[in-house]
Amino acid sequence: MNLIDLGWNQSFESNFNQFNDEGRYQVARVAVEYKGIYKLYTEYGEVLGEITGKMRYNEEFPAVGDWVVVSLQGLEDRAVIYHILPRKSKFSRNMAGTKNREQIVAANIDIVFIVTSLNQDFNLRRIERYLTIAWDSGANPVVILSKADLCDDIEEKKNQVEGVTVGVPVHVISSVENQGIGGLRQYLQQGKAVALLGSSGVGKSTLINNLLGKDKMKVNEIREDDGKGKHTTTHRELIVLEEGGVIIDTPGMREIQLWDNSEGLSSSFSDIEELSKNCKFNDCQHDAEPGCAVKKAIEEGELPEERLESYRKLERELLYIERKRKYGAQRAAKLMQQDIFGF
């Protein structure tokens, strides 16, 4: 395999050389993770690898898209993973449960395709959430509105999305009618990695099959009553494109928790952040304060009130995550209750 097609560059090379001063190791990119066993792509082809006991003890687990330092074993069909090279970007979410723990969905990505269908799955608030996490990843988001063949008000919905994406490219596609697929190929370049994110049933697997020109991904039918689909993709997978570059598919995630970075929130809601600069008070909460530019924009119909509520919800979620890390789940919940109810 050509490592450059897989995304190898001088930055990774420099980090690898610091580790490989004796020339005993090779590099590989993680394609799939199967319960502790990793499918890896190397310049020699595909191998299976396992992490060392030290990495397991330190809970250093590679994610799909990671570049790792390996030692090939036997006939070069097995490998031992010794180290994860520094990531240039990562798409993370907070794992469900009371523990505050990061789950890396995909690493070293350049573009995030946020896929949402134009049927019953259409949800502006979910798009805002995905955008916040995508901006946090360090990659550039692109919103894809799929299943245009099932929508009677395409332009209206696209306008709604463009109202919350603030400059992010928005593409309308139909895999059934091969509409808009060609416009996505501009993002599929040699050495670039594109990750697909979206709920189950929005057409991610069908889109990948169209981009590949073959039926690699299994596709399930959606339910007619609610437009929702089963989880066709059950694991994250890095797929190599013939023209160079890779696509990382992910399982459908209807609800996805934020991690802990507020930069993505500022980027996703840059319109509110910009309006806030004109508020009378620097610490304006955009509630009942006099001279609030955000409230004025809502009153004048320039900003939907639902967008401010979405901003507040995500802001509270990030604050809770930060407090949970510092004080634990029980204390964090108590503090949030005091903020909301005053006791």
Predicted confidence (pLDDT) per residue in 67-88, tens digit = 999 998 766 688 999 999 999 9
Strands (E) across 8-157 are located at 26-34, 37-42, 45-51, 67-73, 78-84, 90-94, 102-107, 111-117, 140-146
Q: So what's the pLDDT on residue 222?
A: 41
Residue 201 labelled as part of a binding site:
yes
Check residue 329 and give its pLDDT. Answer: 59
Q: Is 212 helix (H, G, I), strand (E, B) or coil?
A: helix
Residues whose CB is less than 8 angstroms from the CB of residue 2 and which lie 6 or more positions away in sequence, other chains included: 43, 244
Annotated binding-site residue? 137: no
Say whether 215 counts as a known binding-site residue: no
Q: Establish whether 175 is an annotated binding residue.
A: no
99 is in an annotated binding site: no
Which pLDDT value is given to residue 330?
A: 67
What single letter denotes the amino acid at residue 283?
D
151 marked ligand binding residue = no
Taking the C-alpha atoms of residue 307 and residue 125, their distance in angstroms, rounded to an integer, is 8
User: In this structure, what are the phi and psi dihedrals at residue 152, rounded to the nearest 5 degrees?
Assistant: -100, -10
DSSP 302: S
Residues 127-141 pLDDT 10s: 988 888 888 888 999
Residue 286 counted as an annotated binding residue = yes
Q: Each residue of 194-215: pLDDT tens digit? A: 999 888 788 888 899 888 876 5
Which pLDDT tens digit goes with each residue over 258-291? 656 567 788 888 899 899 999 999 888 888 888 9
- 113 vs 106: CA distance, rounded Å: 12
Segment among 135-144, 198-207, 225-234, 246-255 with least mean pLDDT = 225-234
- 3-class SS of residue 253: coil
Query: Is 98 annotated among the ligand-binding residues?
Result: no
pLDDT band at 114 (very low <50, low <70, confident <90, very high): very high
206 is in an annotated binding site: yes
- Diameter of the chain measured on Cα atoms: 73
In this prediction, residue 252 carries a pLDDT of: 56
Structure tokens at 151: 């929508």
Structure tokens belonging to residue 5: 């097609």
Question: Above 80 in pLDDT, residue 98?
Answer: no
pLDDT value of residue 335: 65
- Domains of the chain in sequence order: 3-84 (2.40.50.140), 90-249 (3.40.50.300), 263-341 (1.10.40.50)
Q: Is 291 annotated as a binding residue?
A: no
334 annotated ligand-binding residue: no
14 known ligand binder: no
Residue 41 backbone zone (phi > 0: left; psi -120 to 50: alpha; other: beta): beta
Distance of alpha carbon 56 from alpha carbon 195, whole angstroms: 26
